[in-house]
Amino acid sequence: MRSARLASGLVPTPLSVAGYLIWALVALELWHSRHVSALLRTPQLRWVATLCMISFLFAFGARAKAFRQSATSALNLSSLAVTTASALVLLSLGPSSATPALLVVIAAMIGAMYRPAVAVAILGALNIAFLAELITRWHLNGPSFTFLVYGTFQAFALLTTSARIRAERISAELRDVNAQLLATRELLAETARDGERLRVSRELHDVAGHRLTALALNLEVLGYADEVSERREWQISRGLVTELLTDLRSVVANLRRNDGIDVREALRRIADAFPSPHIHLNLNQRVRIDTAERADAIVRAGQEGITNAVRHARASNIWVSLTQNNEAVHLEVRDDGACKDPRRIGNGLRGMQERVKSLGGRVEADASPEGGYRLHVMVPAAPRS
The reported pLDDT for the residue numbered 273 is: 80
Among candidate residues 122, 25, 111, 134, the one with its CA nearest the CA of residue 63: 111
Lowest mean pLDDT among 33-37, 78-82, 344-348: 33-37
Mean predicted confidence (pLDDT) in 322-339: 85
What tens digit of pLDDT does each residue of 191-244 get? 777 666 666 666 666 666 666 777 777 777 777 676 666 677 777 777 777 777
Mean predicted confidence (pLDDT) in 277-284: 88
What tens digit of pLDDT does each residue of 88-128 get? 998 888 777 888 999 999 998 888 888 888 889 999 999 88
Mean predicted confidence (pLDDT) in 42-61: 85
Phi, psi of 340 (to 5 degrees): -75, -55
Residue 341 pLDDT > 50: yes
The reported pLDDT for the residue numbered 266 is: 83
Task: Report the share of the chain in percent with pLDDT over 90.
Answer: 9
Cα dist from 118 to 112, 158, 311, 362, whole Å = 11, 11, 21, 41
Query: What is the Cα Rg of the chain in Å?
Result: 34
pLDDT higher at 227 or 65: 227
Mean predicted confidence (pLDDT) in 381-385: 54
Among candidate residues 135, 44, 60, the one with its CA nearest the CA of residue 92: 135
Residue 345 pLDDT > 70: no
Residue 49 · residue 8 · CB < 8 Å? no
The reported pLDDT for the residue numbered 191 is: 74
CA distance 43 to 51: 12
The reported pLDDT for the residue numbered 282 is: 92
Interacting residues of 369 by C-beta distance below 8 A, sequence separation 6+ = 334
pTM (two decimals)? 0.61
Residue 254 pLDDT > 80: no
- Show the CA angle centred on residue 311, arms to residues 10 and 66, nearest 5°: 40
Among candidate residues 292, 269, 289, 281, the one with its CA nearest the CA of residue 333: 281
Residue 375 pLDDT > 80: yes
- Summary mean pLDDT of the chain: 77
pLDDT higher at 74 or 316: 316
3-class state of residue 39 by DSSP: coil
Task: Report the share of the chain in percent with pLDDT over 70.
Answer: 75
Interacting residues of 4 by C-beta distance below 8 A, sequence separation 6+ = 275
Residue spans of beta strands (DSSP E) within the chain: 278-283, 317-324, 328-335, 362-367, 373-380
The reported pLDDT for the residue numbered 3 is: 43
Residue 271 pLDDT > 80: yes
Lowest mean pLDDT among 4-8, 24-28, 285-289, 312-316: 4-8
Residue 49 · residue 62 · CB < 8 Å? no
Mean predicted confidence (pLDDT) in 42-54: 84
The reported pLDDT for the residue numbered 346 is: 64
The reported pLDDT for the residue numbered 331 is: 92
Residue 383 pLDDT > 60: no
The reported pLDDT for the residue numbered 367 is: 81
Mean predicted confidence (pLDDT) in 285-293: 80
The reported pLDDT for the residue numbered 70 is: 41
What tens digit of pLDDT does each residue of 128-176 get? 888 888 888 777 766 677 788 888 999 998 998 888 888 878 877 787 7
Residue 16 · residue 66 · CB < 8 Å? no
